[in-house]
Structure 1
Amino acid sequence: MMKKELLIGFLIGIAANIAGSYLYIFFFSEYTLETTLQIALEEDVLGNIIALGAVLTLCAFFIFLKKNQIYRARGAVFAVILASIIVLISKFY
């Protein structure tokens, strides 16, 4: 039961991060999604976009805490840790 709740929280955290990144691109970029991602890769700022998308994951984290779903909140934290590792790797490689 605990592993299932962790997985649900992790998947919701990843989905929130992707949605946050998309919303950032949608509202603050004058280009299409594909063009913005291509430019971000060329200018080495894709990690910044992923990090900004993680803000929406924090909203999911606090909702889980408010509903006393501790294991789902832990899954959301794992999703933030994964996003941090991806940002770290994109900065150095």
Structure 2
Amino acid sequence: MTKKEITIGFFVGLIAATFGLIVAIQIFGKSDDWGQVVSQAIKNGTLTKLMSIGALLNLGAFFLFLKKNQDQRAKGVLIATLLIFITTMVIKFIN
């Protein structure tokens, strides 16, 4: 049961970060075309900033799971956030 709960939290963390990235693209993008905004962000070196802003939604999911005493799901969200952090750092240092 523990691995299932961690997996659920992990996927909630990834979905929340993806949704947050989409919201950040809509707010800070200069176009309605997401592909164009992402390619422009890659050229400008701001993709990692958009990813970091998107990952802020994981805070809400993390604290919601803690409030509901679902510690294993909160652990899954934390693991997803760490994966996003590592991905962001790799992208930042490659460019």
TM-score bin (small chain) = over 0.9
Q: Deviations over 1:51-79 (max 9, x none)?
A: 11010011100110111000000000001
TM-score (norm 2): 0.94
Q: Which runs of 4+ in 1 moved over 2 A?
A: none
| Residue 8 of structure 1: aligned partner | 8
Rounded Cα–Cα distance in structure 2 between residues aligned with 1:42 and 1:30: 14
Q: Secondary structure at the match of 1:68?
A: coil
Give the AA of the match of 1:17.
A
TM-score (norm 1): 0.95
> CA RMSD, aligned part only?
0.8
Give the C-alpha shift of residue 27 in structure 1: 2.1
Identity of aligned residues (%): 38
Rounded Cα–Cα distance in structure 1 between residues aligned with 2:28 and 2:90: 25
Q: Deviations over 1:6-42 (max 9, x none)?
A: 0000000000000001011112222121111011111
- 5+ residue gaps, structure 2: none
Give the C-alpha shift of residue 46 in structure 1: 1.0
